[in-house]
């Protein structure tokens, strides 16, 4: 059996590749998003069986073949224990077949697989189709039987609910279809999860995210109100950066699709990238206005200006990259994120060295946010235990850094009022 750790990295597409860890570090350091995913999903909480070698497949049936035709023809099936499903980046339309385990008493389970765009499951007992369910990365949640969220939308195909009963064995036929437009095909593999444990884990994760979302919404609304009252642009850039980080966070939990565009599933793939690039630009602009870098640090200001503009220019370029080159492009983006992070920290230390009155709040907020994200990444790559707390450390750090930064923005508001008062007194 494949170790559960492999599935824990389903977001990474297998064991965590270095370029995706670098991407997470880049996201963490630049946009300060809640870079994580459901704790139960990462910890494989409730997962008790992985089926791979037991799965048979065939690709010789025409796309128009129905379940009756597939069931009637027993020839042409190949077992993965003999010949693994061939890896390819071309579009795939295939049928698979496997048996679910026997049980001594009724058991409610969830069935899941890799991020195929559409998966049609047919459950057969005694030669009769007893259930048909559809899921997939491009299948709306309203058309699915099981509504389990808090997982990255393009990290897997989605769950379907199955009742295992004593007696005749339940055989699964599944039609797997993907054009590989968003998530490259990596394997033919299926996972069984205990329904009760998954629902309990999802509930706990929703509590975490509800608290995080409430704090972030308050901070965005509060600082937007300060911008409308003062017309100070640094508040607006802060709101934009937090909103962009929220899009990244939402894409990793599948919540953008759940709340904003439940029928436009393709948008979920782009929303995280939009959030990343926009947030990166806004952070550069925020530092330039908040610390007044054109006046205090002119050389650093020019670098920040061009780094911010480059983040906006990179997004349309990324959209043109074919799926075959996405891994390379994403690794470059992670490296670019680290460069931007280094520049941001350089400016902060320069401001601190020159005793800029706003530098301490900024530096403290940055350290808290980065610490939370590093705690999460360390849990993902198993440098320390993966728990609900460490896997949600990104949200905790993000919320605390937002609170600290908002305090610094409030201090800036007082400073601006003092400057206005001083000018009025001297006139």
pLDDT tens digit string along 191-208?
999 999 999 988 888 888
Kind of pairing between the strands at 171-178 and 118-125:
antiparallel
Confidence of residue 325 (pLDDT cuts 50, 70, 90): low
Residues 6 or more apart in contact with residue 12 via CB below 8 angstroms: 20, 21
Structure confidence at residue 195 (pLDDT): 94
DSSP 230-243: H--HHHHHHHHHHH
Buried b (16+ CB within 10 A) or exposed e, 343-356: bbeebbebbeeeeb
Q: Nearest Cα to 42, choosing from 119, 152, 116?
A: 152
pLDDT digits 0-9 by tens, 381-405:
778 887 888 888 877 888 888 888 8
Kind of pairing between the strands at 128-135 and 118-125:
antiparallel
Check whether 4 has a pLDDT greater than 50.
no
Confidence of residue 7 (pLDDT cuts 50, 70, 90): very low
Q: For the whole model, what pTM was predicted?
A: 0.80
Query: Contact, 100 vs 149, CB < 8 A?
Result: no
Check whether 329 has a pLDDT greater than 70.
no
């Amino acid at each position: 059996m494949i170790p559960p750790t492999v599935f824990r990295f389903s977001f990474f597409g297998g064991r965590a590749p270095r370029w995706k860890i670098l991407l997470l570090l880049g996201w963490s350091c630049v946009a300060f998003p809640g870079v994580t995913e459901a704790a139960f999903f990462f910890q494989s909480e409730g997962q008790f069986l992985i089926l791979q070698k037991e799965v048979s497949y065939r690709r010789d049936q025409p796309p128009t073949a129905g379940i009756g035709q597939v069931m009637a023809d027993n020839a042409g099936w190949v077992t993965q224990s003999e010949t693994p499903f061939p890896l390819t980046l071309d579009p795939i339309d295939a049928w698979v077949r496997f048996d679910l385990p026997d049980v001594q008493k009724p058991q409610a389970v969830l069935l899941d697989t890799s991020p195929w765009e559409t998966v049609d499951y047919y459950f057969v007992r005694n030669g009769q189709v007893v259930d048909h369910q559809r899921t997939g990365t491009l299948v709306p949640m309203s058309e699915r039987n099981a509504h389990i969220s808090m997982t990255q939308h393009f990290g897997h195909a989605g769950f379907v609910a199955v009742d295992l009963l004593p007696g005749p064995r339940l055989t699964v036929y599944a039609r797997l279809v993907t054009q590989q437009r968003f998530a490259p095909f990596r394997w033919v593999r299926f996972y069984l999860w205990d329904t009760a444990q998954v629902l309990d884990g999802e509930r706990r994760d929703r509590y975490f995210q509800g608290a995080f979302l409430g704090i972030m919404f308050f901070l965005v609304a509060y600082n937007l109100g300060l911008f409308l009252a003062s017309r100070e642009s640094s508040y607006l850039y802060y709101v934009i950066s937090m909103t962009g980080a929220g899009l990244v966070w939402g894409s990793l939990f599948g919540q953008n699709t759940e709340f904003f565009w439940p029928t436009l599933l393709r948008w979920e793939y782009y929303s995280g990238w939009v959030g990343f690039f926009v947030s990166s630009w806004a952070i550069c602009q925020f530092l330039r206005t908040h610390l007044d870098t054109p006046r205090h640090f002119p050389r650093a200001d020019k670098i920040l200006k061009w780094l911010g503009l480059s983040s906006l220019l990179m997004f349309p370029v990324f959209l043109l990259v074919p799926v075959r080159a996405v891994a390379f492009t994403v690794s470059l983006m992670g490296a670019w994120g680290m460069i931007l992070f280094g520049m941001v920290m350089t400016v902060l230390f320069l401001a601190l060295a020159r005793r800029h009155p706003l530098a301490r709040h900024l530096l403290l907020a940055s350290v808290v946010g980065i610490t939370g994200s590093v705690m999460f990444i360390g849990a993902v790559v198993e440098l320390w235990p993966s728990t609900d707390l460490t896997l949600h450390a990104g949200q905790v750090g993000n919320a605390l850094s937002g609170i600290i930064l908002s305090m610094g923005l409030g201090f800036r508001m007082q400073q601006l009022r003092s400057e206005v008062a001083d000018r009025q007194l001297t006139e």
